[in-house]
Structure 1
Amino acid sequence: MSLTKVFDPRSFKAFFKDRFAEFLHDNYDNAEEVAVIYGVRYQTALNWWQGINAPSGDTTTLACLRHGQKFIDFMGKGA
């Protein structure tokens, strides 16, 4: 079976943005803290915090490096 038959990238993209926002809420106090930790503008962090946008690969890699298996387990639930 091909990957496209079991994995829809578009639905995962929507899932990821919402799930990453949940991850931020579980691990940080507010969007301002997220901005400082990940070195982004406050508005960018707020967009992630609210689930409006998802971060790019470098930020998700940093989250994984910071939180390790906890990040992987959290993001994998429901995928």
Structure 2
Amino acid sequence: MSRPTKRPRLTLIVNNDIPCADPSAVGSQSSWSNQFDPYALKASAPDLWSSYFRARFNSPREVALFCDVSFQTALNWWGAVTAPASHIALLVMLTDPAAPGFFGAQLGQAA
């Protein structure tokens, strides 16, 4: 019987030498959540994905075949009813070099 491998642990390192009121400590920090409203991004995801699929594919059937999902699922994405799960997002980002630029441009237009 093999022993389970230990998973790496996240370690938080805190620097108490820089007080929170120090403007330089705040100015150098940035996060995606400060650039995008997570709720708005989640709410607009079906429309973003629908735009992408319509730009790249000719039909929901092509989307279904490429993403290995049912026709109904692809139809839901095509019609902006739902957005794909993370594994589909990874598939798209890894197979279409133009995808990040497409989504960046779409989000830039919405901002």
Give 1 or 2 for the bigger CA radius of gyration: 2
Q: Same fold (TM over 0.5)?
A: yes
Q: When the two structures are aligned, how many residues end up with a matched partner?
A: 78
What is the CA–CA distance in structure 2 between the aligned matches of 1:57 and 1:28, rounded to whole Å?
A: 19
Over the aligned positions, Cα root-mean-square deviation in angstroms equals: 1.6
What are structure 1's unaligned runs of at least 5 residues?
Answer: none
What are structure 2's unaligned runs of at least 5 residues?
Answer: 1-25
- For 2:57, the equivalent position in structure 1 comes to 28
Q: TM-score, normalised by structure 1?
A: 0.86
Q: TM-score, normalised by structure 2?
A: 0.63
Please state how far the C-alpha of 1:5 moved relative to its aligned partner: 4.8
Higher relative contact order (CA 8 A, sep 6+): 1
Deviations 1:17-63 (A, max 9, x none): 21111110011010011001100010000000001100011001101
Query: Is the Cα–Cα contact under 8 Å of residues 48 and 106 in structure 2 kept in the other structure?
Result: no
Runs of 4 or more off by more than 2 Å in structure 1?
1-7
Please state how far the C-alpha of 1:16 moved relative to its aligned partner: 2.1
Query: Is the Cα–Cα contact under 8 Å of residues 23 and 74 in structure 1 kept in the other structure?
Result: yes
